[in-house]
Amino acid sequence: EDQVTQSPEALRLQEGESSSLNCSYTVSGLRGLFWYRQDPGKGPEFLFTLYSAGEEKEKERLKATLTKKESFLHITAPKPEDSATYLCAVLQSYNTDKLIFGTGTRLQVFP
Amino acid sequence: GAVVSQHPSRVICKSGTSVKIECRSLDFQATTMFWYRQFPKQSLMLMATSNEGSKATYEQGVEKDKFLINHASLTLSTLTVTSAHPEDSSFYICSARLVAEPYFGPGTRLTVT
């Protein structure tokens, strides 16, 4: 069964303390893996798309990487404004447009 | 950049009434839009796929007579929650794809009293 699992469920960091969020997936025919940031009461905000193993994308303090089984979202020297829920989603196979979402990682960064 | 809007952002209605939520792609055309539901501290659950000019495709367990979807144009999809009940209270989010990347609306908080 196609599945996306994110870990940890929650993460508390001190400002400046770098860390990584994990997204493991088991899908047939990965078309793309997406990272989103979601603030409370708002819709997900697009961050990155990754298409193939070895690919990396970077934006400010965030860097996303992809292997054949998982993706990491690395946060370097986080700030309190990086606090949010980070969602990972995969687009599966070539016969459907459905996204499969992970359950998210709730990140809190303390000053 | 690509923007997806939703209206209203919040709605409170009485049990038994119907509520319509609009989803618009503001600077691109979307032949397919998606409607999700999200409960507190949970991830997004796909409800249905809205197809311009044809019937929506509903996920298993989602009542199509209760959640009516109309994709009338390439930039507008609507979700109508019919005869709403308190258990329909939730955060509803729509999505549209620009090329390969899905963009999400800001969400609509529905509260049924």
Q: Taking CB atoms and an 8 Å limit, are B106 and A43 in contact across chains?
A: yes
Q: Is the pLDDT of residue A51 over 70?
A: yes
Kindly tell me if the per-residue pLDDT of B33 is higher than 80: yes
Instruction: Tell me the C-alpha distance between A41 and B61, whole Å.
Output: 25
**In chain B, % of residues over pLDDT 70:** 98
Q: What is the arithmetic mean of pLDDT over A93-110?
A: 86
Residues of B in contact with A45 (CB under 8 A): 104
Residues constituting chain B: 113
Give the per-residue pLDDT at B69.
Answer: 95
**C-beta separation of B91 from B107 below 8 A:** yes
Task: Please list every residue in chain A whose beta carbon sits closer than 8 Å to the beta carbon of residue B46.
Answer: 98-99
Looking at residue B36, its pLDDT comes to 96
Q: Which of B80, B78, B87, B60 is nearest to B24 (CA)?
A: B78
Q: Which of B75, B26, B28 is nearest to B50 (CA)?
A: B75
When pLDDT is averaged across residues B46-71 and rounded to a whole number, the result is 92
Indicate which of B4, B44, B90 best probes the interface with A, i.e. most A CBs within 10 Å of its own CB: B44
Amino acid at A8: P
Of the candidates A108, A83, A48, A38, the residue with the CA atom closest to the CA atom of residue B106: A38
**pLDDT at B72 exceeding the cut of 70:** yes
Share of chain A above pLDDT 90, in %: 84
pLDDT at A15 over 90: yes
CB-CB under 8 Å, B42 with A43: no
Q: Please count the other Cβ atoms lying within 10 Å of the Cβ belonging to residue B95.
A: 27
- Between CA A48 and CA A37 the distance in angstroms is 10
pLDDT of residue B40: 87
A·B CB contacts under 8 A = 51
Mutate to test the interface with B, among A37, A49, A99, A103 (most CBs of B within 10 A): A99
The amino acid at residue A35 is W
What would the mean pLDDT of A28-56 be, rounded to a whole number? 93
Burial label, A79 (beta-carbon count in 10 A; 0-12, 13-18, 19+): middle
Q: Is the pLDDT of residue B95 over 70?
A: yes
pLDDT at B87: 95
Inter-chain touch B107–A42, beta carbons under 8 Å: yes
Q: Which residues of A touch B41 (CB under 8 A)?
A: 106
Phi, psi of A81 (to 5 degrees): -70, -5
Residue B44 scores a pLDDT above 70: yes
- Judge: B44–A101 Cβ closer than 8 Å, yes or no: yes
Which chain A residues touch B104 with a CB distance below 8 Å?
A: 36, 43-46
Q: What is the mean pLDDT of chain A?
A: 93
B83: its two tokens: 């005869």
Provide DSSP, A39-99: -TTS--EEEEEE-STT-EEEETTEEEEE-SSEEEEEE-S--GGG-EEEEEEEEETTT---E
Q: Which two tokens stand for residue B5?
A: 């809007």
Whether residue B58 is predicted with pLDDT greater than 80 in this model: the reply is: yes
CB-CB under 8 Å, B104 with A43: yes
What pLDDT does A95 receive? 59
CA-to-CA distance for B111 and B99, rounded, in angstroms? Answer: 34
d(CA B56, CA A2): 23
Report how far residue B101's alpha carbon sits from residue B113's, in angstroms, rounded to the nearest whole number. 36
